[in-house]
Chains A and B, each alone.
Chain A
Protein backbone atom coordinates (compact mmCIF):
# COMPACT_ATOMS: atom_id res chain seq x y z
CA UNK A 1 0.00 0.00 0.00
CA UNK A 2 2.73 2.37 0.98
CA UNK A 3 4.54 1.25 -2.12
CA UNK A 4 1.71 2.30 -4.36
CA UNK A 5 1.77 5.62 -2.61
CA UNK A 6 5.47 5.93 -3.10
CA UNK A 7 5.13 5.54 -6.84
CA UNK A 8 2.52 8.24 -7.04
CA UNK A 9 4.59 10.58 -4.94
CA UNK A 10 7.75 9.88 -6.81
CA UNK A 11 6.43 9.89 -10.31
CA UNK A 12 3.68 12.39 -10.26
CA UNK A 13 5.40 14.41 -7.60
CA UNK A 14 2.11 14.79 -5.83
CA UNK A 15 0.50 13.98 -2.58
CA UNK A 16 -2.78 12.24 -3.09
CA UNK A 17 -5.75 11.88 -0.85
CA UNK A 18 -7.60 9.53 -3.12
CA UNK A 19 -5.44 6.50 -2.47
CA UNK A 20 -7.58 5.34 0.44
CA UNK A 21 -10.66 5.35 -1.74
CA UNK A 22 -8.82 3.53 -4.49
CA UNK A 23 -8.06 0.82 -1.96
CA UNK A 24 -11.68 0.64 -0.92
CA UNK A 25 -13.01 0.39 -4.45
CA UNK A 26 -10.44 -2.28 -5.24
CA UNK A 27 -11.40 -4.20 -2.12
CA UNK A 28 -15.10 -4.11 -2.89
CA UNK A 29 -14.60 -5.11 -6.49
CA UNK A 30 -12.56 -8.02 -5.24
CA UNK A 31 -15.21 -8.83 -2.70
CA UNK A 32 -18.02 -9.00 -5.26
CA UNK A 33 -15.89 -10.95 -7.69
CA UNK A 34 -15.15 -13.40 -4.93
CA UNK A 35 -18.86 -13.80 -4.28
CA UNK A 36 -19.78 -14.19 -7.93
CA UNK A 37 -16.95 -16.52 -8.81
CA UNK A 38 -17.49 -18.61 -5.68
CA UNK A 39 -14.16 -17.97 -4.17
CA UNK A 40 -11.79 -17.57 -7.07
CA UNK A 41 -9.05 -15.58 -5.37
CA UNK A 42 -6.90 -15.02 -8.43
CA UNK A 43 -9.86 -13.58 -10.29
CA UNK A 44 -10.70 -11.36 -7.32
CA UNK A 45 -7.19 -9.97 -7.15
CA UNK A 46 -7.22 -9.36 -10.87
CA UNK A 47 -10.57 -7.63 -10.73
CA UNK A 48 -9.43 -5.48 -7.83
CA UNK A 49 -6.34 -4.55 -9.78
CA UNK A 50 -8.30 -3.75 -12.93
CA UNK A 51 -10.93 -1.66 -11.18
CA UNK A 52 -8.33 0.37 -9.34
CA UNK A 53 -6.30 0.75 -12.50
CA UNK A 54 -9.27 2.30 -14.23
CA UNK A 55 -9.87 4.48 -11.21
CA UNK A 56 -6.26 5.54 -11.40
CA UNK A 57 -6.78 6.72 -14.96
CA UNK A 58 -9.82 8.68 -13.84
CA UNK A 59 -7.90 10.23 -10.97
CA UNK A 60 -5.21 11.28 -13.36
CA UNK A 61 -7.71 12.89 -15.71
CA UNK A 62 -9.56 14.75 -12.97
CA UNK A 63 -6.87 15.64 -10.50
CA UNK A 64 -3.44 15.73 -12.08
CA UNK A 65 -3.45 16.40 -15.78
CA UNK A 66 -5.46 19.62 -15.78
CA UNK A 67 -3.29 21.15 -13.08
CA UNK A 68 0.22 20.44 -14.19
CA UNK A 69 0.96 24.11 -14.63
CA UNK A 70 -0.78 25.19 -11.52
CA UNK A 71 1.25 23.85 -8.67
CA UNK A 72 0.90 20.88 -6.43
CA UNK A 73 -1.42 22.52 -3.97
CA UNK A 74 -4.16 22.70 -6.54
CA UNK A 75 -3.79 19.03 -7.38
CA UNK A 76 -3.84 18.22 -3.68
CA UNK A 77 -7.10 20.09 -3.29
CA UNK A 78 -8.48 18.20 -6.27
CA UNK A 79 -7.62 14.88 -4.67
CA UNK A 80 -9.29 15.97 -1.45
CA UNK A 81 -12.43 16.80 -3.40
CA UNK A 82 -12.38 13.55 -5.32
CA UNK A 83 -11.62 11.59 -2.17
CA UNK A 84 -14.65 12.97 -0.35
CA UNK A 85 -16.84 12.35 -3.37
CA UNK A 86 -15.68 8.78 -3.87
CA UNK A 87 -15.83 7.93 -0.19
CA UNK A 88 -19.37 9.16 0.15
CA UNK A 89 -20.36 7.46 -3.09
CA UNK A 90 -18.86 4.24 -1.75
CA UNK A 91 -21.23 4.39 1.18
CA UNK A 92 -24.12 4.80 -1.20
CA UNK A 93 -22.94 2.09 -3.57
CA UNK A 94 -21.74 -0.51 -1.12
CA UNK A 95 -23.91 0.34 1.88
CA UNK A 96 -22.63 1.56 5.20
CA UNK A 97 -22.30 -1.87 6.71
CA UNK A 98 -19.14 -3.85 7.12
CA UNK A 99 -18.93 -6.75 4.68
CA UNK A 100 -17.36 -10.04 5.59
CA UNK A 101 -14.86 -11.44 3.22
CA UNK A 102 -15.24 -15.19 2.75
CA UNK A 103 -12.08 -16.96 3.81
CA UNK A 104 -10.83 -19.31 1.17
CA UNK A 105 -8.92 -21.35 3.71
CA UNK A 106 -11.93 -21.74 5.99
CA UNK A 107 -9.96 -20.25 8.85
CA UNK A 108 -7.50 -23.09 8.82
CA UNK A 109 -4.17 -22.51 10.40
CA UNK A 110 -1.07 -24.36 11.34
CA UNK A 111 0.73 -24.17 14.61
CA UNK A 112 4.34 -23.21 15.02
CA UNK A 113 5.04 -23.90 18.63
CA UNK A 114 2.56 -21.72 20.45
CA UNK A 115 1.95 -19.36 17.59
CA UNK A 116 -0.96 -20.08 15.32
CA UNK A 117 -0.51 -18.90 11.81
CA UNK A 118 -3.49 -18.75 9.52
CA UNK A 119 -3.07 -19.88 5.94
CA UNK A 120 -4.60 -16.61 4.87
CA UNK A 121 -1.82 -14.70 6.51
CA UNK A 122 0.77 -16.79 4.75
CA UNK A 123 -1.00 -16.30 1.48
CA UNK A 124 -1.27 -12.54 1.89
CA UNK A 125 2.35 -12.27 2.83
CA UNK A 126 3.41 -14.38 -0.14
CA UNK A 127 1.43 -12.28 -2.59
CA UNK A 128 2.82 -9.04 -1.16
CA UNK A 129 6.33 -10.37 -1.33
CA UNK A 130 5.85 -11.56 -4.88
CA UNK A 131 4.45 -8.22 -5.93
CA UNK A 132 7.37 -6.39 -4.39
CA UNK A 133 9.81 -8.49 -6.36
CA UNK A 134 7.84 -8.06 -9.55
CA UNK A 135 7.62 -4.34 -9.04
CA UNK A 136 11.29 -4.03 -8.32
CA UNK A 137 11.97 -5.83 -11.60
CA UNK A 138 9.59 -3.64 -13.54
CA UNK A 139 11.08 -0.50 -12.12
CA UNK A 140 14.69 -1.44 -12.61
CA UNK A 141 14.64 -3.63 -15.68
CA UNK A 142 11.96 -2.54 -18.12
CA UNK A 143 11.80 0.45 -20.38
CA UNK A 144 8.59 1.52 -18.71
CA UNK A 145 10.29 1.38 -15.34
CA UNK A 146 13.16 3.49 -16.57
CA UNK A 147 10.74 6.03 -17.96
CA UNK A 148 9.03 6.14 -14.59
CA UNK A 149 12.27 6.71 -12.76
CA UNK A 150 13.38 9.34 -15.22
CA UNK A 151 10.13 11.22 -14.88
CA UNK A 152 10.24 11.02 -11.12
CA UNK A 153 13.71 12.49 -11.04
CA UNK A 154 13.29 15.28 -13.46
CA UNK A 155 10.19 15.86 -15.50
CA UNK A 156 11.70 18.54 -17.64
CA UNK A 157 14.77 16.59 -18.57
CA UNK A 158 12.69 13.51 -19.27
CA UNK A 159 10.48 15.52 -21.58
CA UNK A 160 13.50 16.99 -23.34
CA UNK A 161 14.76 13.49 -23.99
CA UNK A 162 11.55 12.74 -25.82
CA UNK A 163 9.84 10.69 -23.15
CA UNK A 164 6.09 10.99 -23.13
CA UNK A 165 5.83 12.40 -19.63
CA UNK A 166 2.06 12.51 -19.56
CA UNK A 167 1.85 8.89 -20.52
CA UNK A 168 4.41 7.89 -17.93
CA UNK A 169 2.52 9.77 -15.25
CA UNK A 170 -0.74 8.22 -16.37
CA UNK A 171 0.64 4.70 -16.37
CA UNK A 172 2.60 5.15 -13.16
CA UNK A 173 -0.45 6.44 -11.42
CA UNK A 174 -2.63 3.66 -12.82
CA UNK A 175 -0.10 1.06 -11.77
CA UNK A 176 0.13 2.50 -8.30
CA UNK A 177 -3.63 2.55 -7.98
CA UNK A 178 -3.84 -0.99 -9.30
CA UNK A 179 -1.47 -2.09 -6.57
CA UNK A 180 -3.61 -0.19 -4.10
CA UNK A 181 -6.59 -2.19 -5.33
CA UNK A 182 -4.79 -5.48 -4.80
CA UNK A 183 -3.71 -4.43 -1.36
CA UNK A 184 -7.33 -3.58 -0.67
CA UNK A 185 -8.40 -7.11 -1.54
CA UNK A 186 -5.55 -8.55 0.48
CA UNK A 187 -6.36 -6.43 3.49
CA UNK A 188 -9.96 -7.54 3.23
CA UNK A 189 -8.81 -11.16 3.29
CA UNK A 190 -6.43 -10.51 6.12
CA UNK A 191 -8.98 -8.87 8.37
CA UNK A 192 -11.90 -10.87 6.99
CA UNK A 193 -13.87 -7.67 6.62
CA UNK A 194 -14.11 -4.59 4.49
CA UNK A 195 -15.82 -1.28 5.06
CA UNK A 196 -16.41 1.71 2.80
CA UNK A 197 -14.69 4.03 5.25
CA UNK A 198 -11.64 1.91 5.89
CA UNK A 199 -9.66 3.75 3.23
CA UNK A 200 -9.14 7.06 4.95
CA UNK A 201 -6.98 5.98 7.86
CA UNK A 202 -5.13 3.48 5.70
CA UNK A 203 -4.21 6.14 3.21
CA UNK A 204 -2.92 8.31 6.00
CA UNK A 205 -0.79 5.49 7.24
CA UNK A 206 0.45 4.72 3.78
CA UNK A 207 1.37 8.33 3.41
CA UNK A 208 3.16 8.37 6.75
CA UNK A 209 5.02 5.22 5.89
CA UNK A 210 6.05 6.73 2.59
CA UNK A 211 7.27 9.96 4.09
CA UNK A 212 8.93 8.01 6.86
CA UNK A 213 10.74 5.76 4.48
CA UNK A 214 11.63 8.45 2.02
CA UNK A 215 9.54 9.92 -0.74
CA UNK A 216 9.81 8.07 -3.98
CA UNK A 217 11.87 5.20 -2.67
CA UNK A 218 10.24 1.80 -2.95
CA UNK A 219 12.50 0.08 -0.46
CA UNK A 220 12.05 3.07 1.81
CA UNK A 221 8.29 2.74 1.60
CA UNK A 222 8.44 -0.92 2.55
CA UNK A 223 10.78 -0.25 5.47
CA UNK A 224 8.73 2.77 6.50
CA UNK A 225 5.56 0.70 6.56
CA UNK A 226 7.28 -1.98 8.58
CA UNK A 227 8.73 0.47 11.14
CA UNK A 228 5.45 2.30 11.44
CA UNK A 229 3.77 -0.98 12.32
CA UNK A 230 6.36 -1.66 15.01
CA UNK A 231 6.08 1.81 16.52
CA UNK A 232 2.33 1.58 16.59
CA UNK A 233 2.39 -1.70 18.43
CA UNK A 234 4.86 -0.29 20.93
CA UNK A 235 2.53 2.60 21.58
CA UNK A 236 -0.40 0.24 22.03
CA UNK A 237 1.60 -1.87 24.43
CA UNK A 238 2.79 1.07 26.49
CA UNK A 239 -0.22 3.37 26.42
CA UNK A 240 -3.53 2.17 25.13
CA UNK A 241 -4.92 1.05 21.80
CA UNK A 242 -6.52 4.43 21.25
CA UNK A 243 -3.13 6.01 20.82
CA UNK A 244 -2.24 3.81 17.88
CA UNK A 245 -3.24 6.37 15.30
CA UNK A 246 -1.70 9.30 17.12
CA UNK A 247 1.68 7.65 16.74
CA UNK A 248 1.34 7.64 12.99
CA UNK A 249 0.61 11.34 12.89
CA UNK A 250 3.31 12.24 15.36
CA UNK A 251 5.81 10.35 13.26
CA UNK A 252 4.53 12.09 10.17
CA UNK A 253 5.03 15.55 11.64
CA UNK A 254 8.33 14.66 13.27
CA UNK A 255 9.77 13.28 10.05
CA UNK A 256 8.56 16.22 8.00
CA UNK A 257 10.24 18.59 10.42
CA UNK A 258 13.42 16.71 11.15
CA UNK A 259 14.32 14.88 7.99
CA UNK A 260 11.88 15.60 5.23
CA UNK A 261 13.62 13.30 2.81
CA UNK A 262 12.89 10.29 5.03
CA UNK A 263 15.24 7.59 6.20
CA UNK A 264 15.95 6.22 2.75
CA UNK A 265 15.19 9.38 0.85
CA UNK A 266 17.26 10.35 -2.07
CA UNK A 267 18.72 13.79 -2.09
CA UNK A 268 16.94 16.58 -3.81
CA UNK A 269 13.37 15.60 -3.17
CA UNK A 270 11.93 18.99 -3.70
CA UNK A 271 11.25 20.60 -0.41
CA UNK A 272 12.96 23.92 -0.50
Chain B
Protein backbone atom coordinates (compact mmCIF):
# COMPACT_ATOMS: atom_id res chain seq x y z
CA UNK B 1 0.00 0.00 0.00
CA UNK B 2 3.00 2.25 -0.37
CA UNK B 3 1.88 4.19 -3.45
CA UNK B 4 -1.41 4.98 -1.72
CA UNK B 5 0.35 6.35 1.33
CA UNK B 6 2.65 8.40 -0.84
CA UNK B 7 -0.25 9.99 -2.65
CA UNK B 8 -2.01 10.74 0.65
CA UNK B 9 1.11 12.52 1.88
CA UNK B 10 1.28 14.40 -1.40
CA UNK B 11 -2.37 15.44 -1.24
CA UNK B 12 -1.99 16.53 2.38
CA UNK B 13 1.11 18.54 1.59
CA UNK B 14 -0.58 20.16 -1.38
CA UNK B 15 -3.62 21.02 0.70
CA UNK B 16 -1.59 22.58 3.50
CA UNK B 17 0.54 24.64 1.15
CA UNK B 18 -2.36 25.85 -0.96
CA UNK B 19 -4.43 26.70 2.13
CA UNK B 20 -1.56 28.60 3.68
CA UNK B 21 -0.59 30.67 0.67
CA UNK B 22 -2.92 33.65 1.38
CA UNK B 23 -1.58 33.77 4.96
CA UNK B 24 1.93 34.74 4.02
CA UNK B 25 1.36 36.04 0.52
CA UNK B 26 0.17 39.49 1.48
CA UNK B 27 0.90 41.06 -1.87
CA UNK B 28 -2.43 41.48 -3.65
CA UNK B 29 -0.90 41.13 -7.08
CA UNK B 30 0.80 37.85 -6.27
CA UNK B 31 -2.38 36.55 -4.73
CA UNK B 32 -4.19 37.41 -7.92
CA UNK B 33 -1.61 35.48 -9.91
CA UNK B 34 -2.10 32.52 -7.59
CA UNK B 35 -5.85 32.69 -8.19
CA UNK B 36 -5.38 32.82 -11.94
CA UNK B 37 -3.00 29.89 -11.69
CA UNK B 38 -5.69 27.90 -9.92
CA UNK B 39 -8.24 28.91 -12.53
CA UNK B 40 -5.94 27.43 -15.16
CA UNK B 41 -5.44 24.35 -13.04
CA UNK B 42 -9.18 23.84 -13.28
CA UNK B 43 -9.22 24.45 -17.02
CA UNK B 44 -6.19 22.30 -17.76
CA UNK B 45 -7.54 19.50 -15.57
CA UNK B 46 -10.88 19.53 -17.34
CA UNK B 47 -9.13 19.43 -20.71
CA UNK B 48 -6.98 16.60 -19.46
CA UNK B 49 -10.09 14.57 -18.63
CA UNK B 50 -10.87 14.67 -22.34
CA UNK B 51 -7.43 14.51 -23.95
CA UNK B 52 -5.60 12.50 -21.35
CA UNK B 53 -8.18 9.99 -20.22
CA UNK B 54 -10.35 9.13 -23.19
CA UNK B 55 -7.83 10.22 -25.79
CA UNK B 56 -10.12 12.56 -27.70
CA UNK B 57 -8.02 15.29 -29.18
CA UNK B 58 -9.72 18.52 -28.19
CA UNK B 59 -7.89 21.71 -29.11
CA UNK B 60 -10.84 24.06 -28.79
CA UNK B 61 -11.45 23.86 -25.08
CA UNK B 62 -11.79 27.65 -24.90
CA UNK B 63 -15.21 27.26 -26.51
CA UNK B 64 -16.67 25.48 -23.48
CA UNK B 65 -14.98 27.96 -21.16
CA UNK B 66 -16.54 30.79 -23.16
CA UNK B 67 -20.03 29.29 -23.00
CA UNK B 68 -19.82 28.85 -19.23
CA UNK B 69 -18.63 32.42 -18.75
CA UNK B 70 -21.20 34.07 -21.01
CA UNK B 71 -24.11 31.97 -19.79
CA UNK B 72 -23.49 32.89 -16.20
CA UNK B 73 -22.67 36.54 -16.98
CA UNK B 74 -25.81 37.09 -19.02
CA UNK B 75 -28.08 35.34 -16.52
CA UNK B 76 -26.50 37.26 -13.66
CA UNK B 77 -27.04 40.59 -15.38
CA UNK B 78 -30.51 39.88 -16.74
CA UNK B 79 -32.08 37.95 -13.90
CA UNK B 80 -29.80 38.68 -10.99
CA UNK B 81 -29.30 35.00 -10.26
CA UNK B 82 -26.88 34.18 -7.49
CA UNK B 83 -23.42 32.87 -8.24
CA UNK B 84 -24.13 29.57 -6.53
CA UNK B 85 -27.06 28.90 -8.82
CA UNK B 86 -25.12 30.03 -11.86
CA UNK B 87 -22.13 27.84 -11.14
CA UNK B 88 -23.91 24.58 -12.01
CA UNK B 89 -25.91 26.29 -14.76
CA UNK B 90 -22.70 27.44 -16.42
CA UNK B 91 -21.34 23.92 -16.16
CA UNK B 92 -24.45 22.34 -17.60
CA UNK B 93 -24.62 24.89 -20.41
CA UNK B 94 -21.11 23.93 -21.46
CA UNK B 95 -21.91 20.23 -21.11
CA UNK B 96 -25.02 20.65 -23.26
CA UNK B 97 -23.03 22.44 -25.93
CA UNK B 98 -20.59 19.55 -25.88
CA UNK B 99 -23.46 17.28 -26.90
CA UNK B 100 -24.18 19.54 -29.84
CA UNK B 101 -20.55 19.31 -30.87
CA UNK B 102 -19.99 15.70 -29.97
CA UNK B 103 -23.01 13.94 -31.39
CA UNK B 104 -22.17 14.65 -35.01
CA UNK B 105 -18.38 14.76 -34.69
CA UNK B 106 -17.23 12.18 -32.15
CA UNK B 107 -17.15 9.48 -34.77
CA UNK B 108 -14.33 11.33 -36.47
CA UNK B 109 -10.89 10.28 -35.46
CA UNK B 110 -7.83 12.03 -34.19
CA UNK B 111 -6.92 15.16 -36.04
CA UNK B 112 -10.26 15.42 -37.82
CA UNK B 113 -12.08 15.58 -34.52
CA UNK B 114 -9.44 18.06 -33.39
CA UNK B 115 -10.21 20.35 -36.31
CA UNK B 116 -13.91 20.32 -35.51
CA UNK B 117 -13.27 21.26 -31.89
CA UNK B 118 -11.18 24.11 -33.16
CA UNK B 119 -13.95 25.17 -35.52
CA UNK B 120 -16.44 24.92 -32.68
CA UNK B 121 -14.34 27.11 -30.44
CA UNK B 122 -14.10 29.80 -33.08
CA UNK B 123 -17.80 29.58 -33.94
CA UNK B 124 -18.64 30.14 -30.28
CA UNK B 125 -16.33 33.13 -30.03
CA UNK B 126 -17.49 34.69 -33.29
CA UNK B 127 -21.13 34.20 -32.37
CA UNK B 128 -20.54 35.94 -29.07
CA UNK B 129 -18.74 38.69 -30.92
CA UNK B 130 -21.58 39.22 -33.38
CA UNK B 131 -24.70 38.60 -31.33
CA UNK B 132 -24.53 42.09 -29.97
CA UNK B 133 -28.10 42.31 -28.66
CA UNK B 134 -27.34 39.53 -26.22
CA UNK B 135 -23.62 39.73 -25.57
CA UNK B 136 -22.77 43.35 -26.35
CA UNK B 137 -20.24 41.92 -28.80
CA UNK B 138 -16.71 43.30 -28.65
CA UNK B 139 -17.60 45.69 -25.84
CA UNK B 140 -17.96 42.78 -23.46
CA UNK B 141 -20.08 42.49 -20.35
CA UNK B 142 -18.95 44.63 -17.43
CA UNK B 143 -20.08 44.71 -13.83
CA UNK B 144 -20.70 41.02 -13.26
CA UNK B 145 -21.57 40.71 -9.58
CA UNK B 146 -19.24 38.81 -7.29
CA UNK B 147 -20.51 35.89 -5.24
CA UNK B 148 -22.02 36.22 -1.81
CA UNK B 149 -21.92 33.65 0.95
CA UNK B 150 -23.87 33.93 4.20
CA UNK B 151 -24.18 37.67 3.76
CA UNK B 152 -20.49 38.06 3.04
CA UNK B 153 -19.51 39.53 -0.31
CA UNK B 154 -16.48 38.03 -2.06
CA UNK B 155 -14.26 41.03 -2.58
CA UNK B 156 -10.60 40.43 -1.91
CA UNK B 157 -8.29 38.25 -3.90
CA UNK B 158 -7.99 35.96 -0.90
CA UNK B 159 -11.72 35.28 -1.05
CA UNK B 160 -11.57 34.33 -4.68
CA UNK B 161 -8.44 32.34 -4.06
CA UNK B 162 -10.20 30.16 -1.53
CA UNK B 163 -13.25 29.89 -3.76
CA UNK B 164 -11.33 28.53 -6.74
CA UNK B 165 -9.26 26.35 -4.42
CA UNK B 166 -12.47 24.83 -3.13
CA UNK B 167 -13.80 24.28 -6.64
CA UNK B 168 -10.54 22.60 -7.61
CA UNK B 169 -10.61 20.36 -4.59
CA UNK B 170 -14.17 19.34 -5.40
CA UNK B 171 -13.27 18.72 -9.03
CA UNK B 172 -10.26 16.57 -8.13
CA UNK B 173 -12.23 14.64 -5.53
CA UNK B 174 -15.14 13.90 -7.85
CA UNK B 175 -12.96 13.24 -10.87
CA UNK B 176 -10.78 10.76 -9.02
CA UNK B 177 -13.99 8.97 -8.04
CA UNK B 178 -15.17 8.78 -11.63
CA UNK B 179 -11.78 7.64 -12.83
CA UNK B 180 -11.73 4.89 -10.25
CA UNK B 181 -15.04 3.52 -11.47
CA UNK B 182 -16.10 1.51 -14.47
CA UNK B 183 -16.62 4.80 -16.31
CA UNK B 184 -13.03 5.92 -15.88
CA UNK B 185 -11.77 2.49 -16.91
CA UNK B 186 -13.95 2.60 -20.01
CA UNK B 187 -12.48 6.02 -20.90
CA UNK B 188 -8.93 4.76 -20.54
CA UNK B 189 -9.74 1.65 -22.53
CA UNK B 190 -11.07 3.82 -25.35
CA UNK B 191 -7.90 5.89 -25.26
CA UNK B 192 -5.73 2.81 -25.44
CA UNK B 193 -7.55 0.91 -28.14
CA UNK B 194 -11.02 1.65 -29.38
CA UNK B 195 -11.56 -1.67 -31.12
CA UNK B 196 -10.48 -3.67 -28.10
CA UNK B 197 -12.75 -1.55 -25.93
CA UNK B 198 -15.66 -2.36 -28.23
CA UNK B 199 -14.76 -6.03 -28.10
CA UNK B 200 -15.21 -5.79 -24.34
CA UNK B 201 -18.71 -4.46 -24.82
CA UNK B 202 -17.97 -0.79 -24.16
CA UNK B 203 -20.38 1.55 -25.95
CA UNK B 204 -17.55 3.68 -27.28
CA UNK B 205 -19.65 6.54 -28.61
CA UNK B 206 -21.70 6.90 -25.44
CA UNK B 207 -18.67 6.96 -23.21
CA UNK B 208 -16.83 9.40 -25.42
CA UNK B 209 -19.80 11.70 -25.26
CA UNK B 210 -20.04 11.37 -21.51
CA UNK B 211 -16.35 12.09 -21.27
CA UNK B 212 -16.56 15.19 -23.43
CA UNK B 213 -19.55 16.46 -21.49
CA UNK B 214 -17.88 15.85 -18.14
CA UNK B 215 -14.75 17.73 -19.21
CA UNK B 216 -16.82 20.53 -20.73
CA UNK B 217 -18.85 20.79 -17.51
CA UNK B 218 -15.79 21.78 -15.49
CA UNK B 219 -14.66 24.18 -18.19
CA UNK B 220 -18.08 25.79 -17.92
CA UNK B 221 -17.66 26.05 -14.15
CA UNK B 222 -14.28 27.67 -14.73
CA UNK B 223 -15.92 30.17 -17.08
CA UNK B 224 -18.53 30.99 -14.48
CA UNK B 225 -15.85 31.59 -11.88
CA UNK B 226 -13.83 33.72 -14.24
CA UNK B 227 -16.83 35.91 -15.06
CA UNK B 228 -17.45 36.84 -11.47
CA UNK B 229 -13.77 37.02 -10.56
CA UNK B 230 -12.83 39.38 -13.38
CA UNK B 231 -16.30 41.02 -13.27
CA UNK B 232 -15.81 41.79 -16.94
CA UNK B 233 -15.72 39.41 -19.87
CA UNK B 234 -15.24 39.95 -23.58
CA UNK B 235 -14.67 37.63 -26.52
CA UNK B 236 -10.95 38.46 -26.37
CA UNK B 237 -10.56 36.15 -23.40
CA UNK B 238 -11.69 33.10 -25.33
CA UNK B 239 -9.50 32.97 -28.40
CA UNK B 240 -7.95 29.88 -29.89
CA UNK B 241 -4.71 30.83 -28.19
CA UNK B 242 -6.47 30.48 -24.87
CA UNK B 243 -7.34 26.91 -25.82
CA UNK B 244 -3.79 26.30 -27.00
CA UNK B 245 -2.43 27.60 -23.71
CA UNK B 246 -4.53 25.03 -21.85
CA UNK B 247 -3.23 22.40 -24.21
CA UNK B 248 0.34 23.48 -23.47
CA UNK B 249 -0.32 23.16 -19.73
CA UNK B 250 -1.73 19.67 -20.07
CA UNK B 251 1.09 18.54 -22.32
CA UNK B 252 3.83 20.02 -20.20
CA UNK B 253 2.41 18.63 -16.99
CA UNK B 254 1.66 15.22 -18.40
CA UNK B 255 -1.49 13.92 -20.03
CA UNK B 256 -3.48 11.24 -18.33
CA UNK B 257 -2.42 12.05 -14.79
CA UNK B 258 -4.31 14.12 -12.27
CA UNK B 259 -1.14 15.77 -11.04
CA UNK B 260 0.19 16.77 -14.46
CA UNK B 261 -2.21 19.58 -15.37
CA UNK B 262 -1.86 21.03 -11.88
CA UNK B 263 1.89 21.30 -12.26
CA UNK B 264 1.70 22.43 -15.87
CA UNK B 265 -0.89 25.12 -15.24
CA UNK B 266 0.83 26.50 -12.16
CA UNK B 267 4.24 26.53 -13.75
CA UNK B 268 3.18 28.13 -17.02
CA UNK B 269 0.90 30.73 -15.43
CA UNK B 270 3.63 31.90 -13.10
CA UNK B 271 6.25 31.86 -15.82
CA UNK B 272 4.11 33.82 -18.23
CA UNK B 273 3.13 36.32 -15.54
CA UNK B 274 6.78 37.14 -15.03
CA UNK B 275 6.84 38.27 -18.65
CA UNK B 276 3.44 39.88 -18.51
CA UNK B 277 4.71 43.31 -19.58
CA UNK B 278 5.24 42.10 -23.11
CA UNK B 279 2.24 40.20 -24.33
CA UNK B 280 4.06 38.62 -27.24
CA UNK B 281 6.67 36.97 -25.03
CA UNK B 282 3.92 35.37 -22.99
CA UNK B 283 2.71 33.32 -25.89
CA UNK B 284 6.21 32.42 -26.99
CA UNK B 285 6.56 30.66 -23.65
CA UNK B 286 3.54 28.50 -24.40
CA UNK B 287 4.77 27.70 -27.89
CA UNK B 288 8.23 26.80 -26.72
CA UNK B 289 6.81 24.79 -23.83
CA UNK B 290 4.81 22.69 -26.26
CA UNK B 291 7.78 22.12 -28.55
CA UNK B 292 10.21 21.30 -25.78
CA UNK B 293 7.80 18.91 -24.12
CA UNK B 294 7.02 16.81 -27.12
CA UNK B 295 10.65 16.71 -28.17
CA UNK B 296 12.27 16.05 -24.84
CA UNK B 297 9.70 14.50 -22.56
CA UNK B 298 6.56 13.50 -24.43
CA UNK B 299 4.97 12.12 -21.29
CA UNK B 300 5.21 15.49 -19.55
CA UNK B 301 6.63 16.36 -16.15
CA UNK B 302 4.40 14.04 -14.17
CA UNK B 303 3.45 11.70 -16.94
CA UNK B 304 3.87 8.03 -17.00
CA UNK B 305 1.44 7.69 -19.85
CA UNK B 306 3.08 8.26 -23.17
CA UNK B 307 1.22 10.14 -25.81
CA UNK B 308 -1.07 7.68 -27.35
CA UNK B 309 0.19 6.34 -30.58
CA UNK B 310 -3.01 6.25 -32.50
CA UNK B 311 -1.46 4.91 -35.62
CA UNK B 312 -0.68 1.62 -33.99
CA UNK B 313 -4.31 1.13 -33.25
CA UNK B 314 -5.47 2.14 -36.65
CA UNK B 315 -2.99 0.49 -38.91
CA UNK B 316 -1.93 -3.07 -38.81
CA UNK B 317 1.29 -2.06 -40.44
CA UNK B 318 3.92 0.18 -39.12
CA UNK B 319 6.69 1.34 -41.30
CA UNK B 320 9.70 3.07 -40.00
CA UNK B 321 11.85 5.04 -42.33
CA UNK B 322 15.47 4.73 -41.59
CA UNK B 323 18.30 6.89 -42.78
CA UNK B 324 19.14 5.33 -46.08
CA UNK B 325 15.42 4.95 -46.61
CA UNK B 326 15.77 1.31 -45.88
CA UNK B 327 12.38 0.14 -44.95
CA UNK B 328 11.59 -1.80 -41.91
CA UNK B 329 8.13 -3.21 -42.14
CA UNK B 330 6.73 -4.87 -39.11
CA UNK B 331 3.38 -6.12 -38.09
CA UNK B 332 2.11 -4.43 -35.02
Contacts and interface: CB of A to CB of B under 8 A. Distances in A.
Nearest to B129: A242
A245 B278 CA distance: 28
Given A72-B311, A204-B122, A260-B108, A84 B280 contact: no
Contact of A246 (B126, B248, B288, B290): B126
Contact of A76 (B114, B122, B309, B314): B114
B65 interface: no
Contact of A70 (B280, B290, B307): B307
A249 B317 CA distance: 34
A156 B317 contact: yes
Contact of B283 (A73, A77, A87, A163): A87
A246 B298 contact: no
A253 B298 CA distance: 29
B130 A77 contact: no
Interface residues of A, number: 54
Contacts, number: 159
A127 interface: no
B274 interface: no
A245 B247 contact: no
A82 B283 CA distance: 11
B230 interface: no
Contacts of A89: 280, 284
Contact of B284 (A69, A74, A80, A88): A88
A156 B286 contact: no
Contacts of B283: 84-85, 87-88
B16 interface: no
Interface residues of B, number: 57
Given A74-B307, A249-B119, A257-B105, A85 B291 contact: yes
Nearest to B278: A92
Interface of A: 15, 62, 66-74, 76-78, 80-89, 91-92, 96, 155-156, 159-160, 162-166, 200, 204, 207, 211, 240, 242-243, 245-246, 249-250, 252-253, 256-257, 260, 271-272
23 contacts: A69-B318, A71-B312, A77-B294, A81-B294, A84-B241, A84-B283, A85-B288, A86-B287, A88-B280, A89-B284, A91-B280, A92-B281, A156-B327, A165-B321, A166-B325, A207-B115, A242-B126, A242-B129, A245-B122, A246-B127, A252-B119, A256-B105, A256-B116
Interface of B: 57, 59, 104-105, 108-112, 114-116, 119-120, 122-123, 126-127, 129-130, 137, 240-241, 244, 247-248, 251, 278, 280-284, 286-291, 294-295, 298, 307-312, 314, 317-321, 325, 327, 329
